[in-house]
Structure 1
Amino acid sequence: MSKIKTRPWDSAEHLKTEDDIAEYFEACLQEGRDDPAFVAHALGVIARARGMSAVARDAGVSPEGLYKALSGKGNPSFDTILKVIRALGLQLHASKAHS
């Protein structure tokens, strides 16, 4: 019996277009609405898809700081999150929560 070779899923590999990125971020905002680390991690995935160094430069933060902040284990400031969202060409949206 031959072994099947697998590798871990990496969402960043599948974010090819601006629409892919926007839809992914929207889904992550909905899924992680009570988990700031989940949302930060989602931004990290998008930043990796775009190129972490370019996103760091556009956001005005160091690449190392960006990796740490968006790792899902970091605790980025809201200011950093907004800078990254702008650097990615995304926007936050608000709507009435469904009970």
Structure 2
Amino acid sequence: MKPAISYHDDLLRRLKNKKYAVGHLNACLEEGDDGDFLLAIRDVAQVHGGLRELSKKAGLNREHLFRMLSKNGNPRLHNLRQLIAALGFKLSLRPA
């Protein structure tokens, strides 16, 4: 019998695929829970080079980045845009 893998480990494996990662981030945004969205960004960053690498690419202090991407984080829009761009994505709007 194969050992079971955790949901989170399976999610991290899937997030390596950029298209899946975009879908996951969009789903978290649509759910409306800001904390879940920030944690999703953290998960995507983890599998695409890690938070240290993301902080370098985004030009943000690593400790500040950890606080921003916590469940209770409250990043400024400017910082959020930098993070999204550093991950290779861009924000866009569409009609509701």
TM-score (norm 1): 0.77
Taking the TM superposition and a 5 Å limit, the aligned residue runs for 1:55-94 are: 55-94=54-93
C-alpha change, 1:5 and 1:39, in structure 2 (3 Å) is: closer
User: What CA deviation, in whole Å up to 9, does each residue of 1:75-98 have, x standing for no partner?
Assistant: 11111111100101111221211x
Bigger fraction of residues in helix? 2
Aligned mates of 1:23, 1:5 — CA distance in 2? 25
The answer to whether structure 1 residue 17 and structure 2 residue 17 are counterparts is yes
Matched, 1:30 2:19: no
Identity of aligned residues (%): 29
Q: What secondary structure does 2:70 align onto? A: coil
Larger radius of gyration: 1
Unaligned runs of 5+ in 2: none
Query: Which stretches in structure 1 are left out of the alignment for 5+ residues?
Result: none
Q: What root-mean-square deviation, in Å, do the aligned CA atoms of Structure 1 and Structure 2 show?
A: 2.0
